[in-house]
């Protein structure tokens, strides 16, 4: 029901952003920091969801796009002494370029082969990070000093290590990407992406170059994930090879499945849920992954469409 309620849809999304803004002033220090991290990573999940949820392409290699942004921003600051805005742009550009190249190659396949090919490329990326440890710091990583993480805009300077500045920066990125993905999925382009997911052959017979559309989606997805990685490096001051490992290709898939694939707010909800389940259970037991696993199994059994997907199915059909 795409055109049924645009006002309601935009009000909901602006409301979520306003709520996150307000939370900055009420959350205790620890949770304020956790929320900043969750919002930065929810951007990663949103980028993943654009490709997985809307186009139906399951990639197992998105860690490479996240870490392309992470290293694109981190290394230019660390080695070249670039400022924060330039480094951020460099990170996003690295991710978009990498996504273009990987997309051109990987989109020659589909289904299981696409999963394997993306995973293999991500492994190559991971091994390259380790191989060039002299520049990347390898598995030890690099710490980006506080002095390089200060942004001067006009006369004012913002220190990204300050909790409130960090929170607001993460929120700003989250808000922009949320509204951009909402605009994409409501656009003509978004309609074509969903059509490809539903029936690619039929979409071709309606005059669409499905490969070109999928490539555009891979690049958009890669750029968004790279924006998340670049922000992560600049906000939290650390780049390391674990972010390029297979674990960071699986995590966005889990966040999106939990929150609800092909829903605009699902990635945030999934990331939030997973972080807090891990956070709360690890306070009680060292076997917290067991409890996370049980939570995941229960969700798959009782809400296979994820949290937002189930809400849309049962109560709010107009959710985008």
Partner 1 sequence: MTPLLTTKGLSRNFGGLRAVDGVDFALMPGEIRAVIGPNGAGKTTFVSLLSGRIRPSSGVVVFDGVEITAMPAYQRVRLGVAYTFQITSVFANLTVFDNVALPVQRTLTDGRTKGQVRTGVMAALERTGLADRAGTLAAHLSYGHQRLLEVAMGLALKPRLLILDEPTQGLADSEIDNFITLVRGIAKDATVLLIEHNMPVVMQLADRITVFNSGKILAEGTPGEIRANRQVQDAYLGATHG
Smaller CB separation from partner 1, 139 or 198? 198
Q: Which stretch binds partner 1 (CB under 8 A): 76-84, 103-111, 115-123, 191-199?
A: 191-199
CB of 108 to partner 1, least distance (A): 15
| Choice from 176, 180, 184, 194 touching partner 1 (CB under 8 A) | 194
CB of 194 to partner 1, least distance (A): 7
Instruction: Check: CB of residue 35 under 8 Å from CB of residue 27.
Output: yes
* Under rule CB under 8 A, residue 199 binds partner 1: yes
Q: Which stretch binds partner 1 (CB under 8 A): 190-198, 228-236, 274-282, 290-298?
A: 190-198
| Choice from 159, 191, 280, 297 touching partner 1 (CB under 8 A) | 191
* Under rule CB under 8 A, residue 201 binds partner 1: yes
Classify burial at 143, counting beta carbons within 10 Å of its beta carbon; exposed 0-12, middle 13-18, buried 19 or more.
Answer: middle
Count of residues binding partner 1 (CB under 8 A)?
21
- Angstrom distance (rounded) from CA 6 to CA 198: 23
Smaller CB separation from partner 1, 189 or 275? 189
* Under rule CB under 8 A, residue 208 binds partner 1: yes
- Give the burial string for 279-295 (b: 16+ CB within 10 Å, else e): eebeeeeeebeebbeeb
CB of 5 to partner 1, least distance (A): 12
The 3-state secondary structure of 43-103, one letter per residue: HHHHHHHHHHHHHCCCCCCCHHHHHHHHHHHHHHHHHHCCCHHHHHHHHHHHHHHHHHHHH
Please report, for residues 123, 152, 166, the alpha-carbon distance to residue 130 in angstroms, rounded to integers and kept in the order given.
11, 33, 29
Q: Which residues bind partner 1 (CB under 8 A)?
A: 1-4, 188, 191-192, 194-195, 198-199, 201-210
């Amino acid at each position: 029901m795409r055109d049924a309620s645009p006002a309601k849809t935009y009000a909901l999304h602006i409301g979520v952003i306003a709520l996150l803004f307000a939370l900055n002033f009420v959350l205790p220090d620890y949770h304020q920091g956790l929320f900043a991290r969750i919002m930065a990573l929810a951007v990663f999940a949103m980028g993943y969801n654009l490709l997985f949820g809307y186009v139906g392409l399951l990639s197992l290699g998105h860690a490479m796009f996240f870490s392309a942004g992470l290293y694109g921003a981190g290394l230019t600051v660390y080695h070249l002494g670039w400022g924060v805005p330039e480094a951020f742009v460099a990170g996003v550009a690295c991710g978009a370029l990498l996504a273009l190249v990987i997309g051109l190659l990987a989109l020659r396949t589909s289904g299981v082969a696409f999963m394997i090919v993306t995973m293999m490329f991500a492994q190559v990326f991971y091994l390259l990070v380790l191989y060039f440890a002299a520049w990347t710091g390898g598995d030890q990583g690099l710490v980006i000093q506080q002095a390089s993480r200060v942004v001067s805009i006009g006369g004012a300077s913002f220190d990204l290590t300050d909790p409130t500045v960090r929170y607001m920066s993460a929120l700003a990125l989250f808000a922009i990407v949320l509204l951009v993905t909402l605009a994409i999925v409501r656009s003509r382009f978004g309609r074509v992406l969903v059509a490809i997911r539903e029936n690619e052959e039929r979409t071709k017979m309606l005059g669409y170059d499905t490969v070109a559309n999928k490539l555009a989606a891979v690049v958009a997805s890669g750029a968004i994930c790279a924006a998340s990685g670049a922000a992560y490096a600049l906000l939290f001051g650390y780049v390391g090879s674990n972010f390029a490992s297979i674990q960071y290709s699986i995590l966005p898939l889990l966040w999106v499945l939990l929150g609800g694939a092909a829903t605009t707010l699902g990635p945030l909800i999934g990331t939030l849920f997973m972080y807090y389940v891990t956070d709360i259970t690890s306070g009680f037991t060292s076997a917290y992954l067991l409890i996370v696993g049980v939570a995941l199994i229960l969700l798959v059994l009782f809400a296979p469409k994820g949290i937002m997907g189930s809400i849309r199915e049962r109560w709010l059909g107009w959710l985008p």
